[in-house]
Amino acid sequence: MPTPHNKAGVNQIASTVFMPGDPLRAEYISKNYLTDAVKVTEVRNMYGFTGKYNGKDVTVMGHGMGMPSVGIYTYELYNFYNVDNIIRIGSAGGLADDVNLRDLVIGMGACTDSNFAWQYGLPGTFAPIADFSLLQKAVASAEKLNVNVKVGNIISTDVFYSPKEANEKWRSMGVLAVEMEAAALYMNAAKSGKKALCICTISDHLFKEEQLSVEERQTGFDDMIKVALGML
Q: Which residues are catalytic?
A: 204
* Angstrom distance (rounded) from CA 209 to CA 191: 39
End-to-end CA distance of the chain: 26
Closest CA to 12 of 51, 64, 56: 51
* Angstrom distance (rounded) from CA 60 to CA 39: 10
* Angstrom distance (rounded) from CA 140 to CA 58: 19
How do strand 85-94 and strand 56-61 relate by DSSP bridges? unpaired
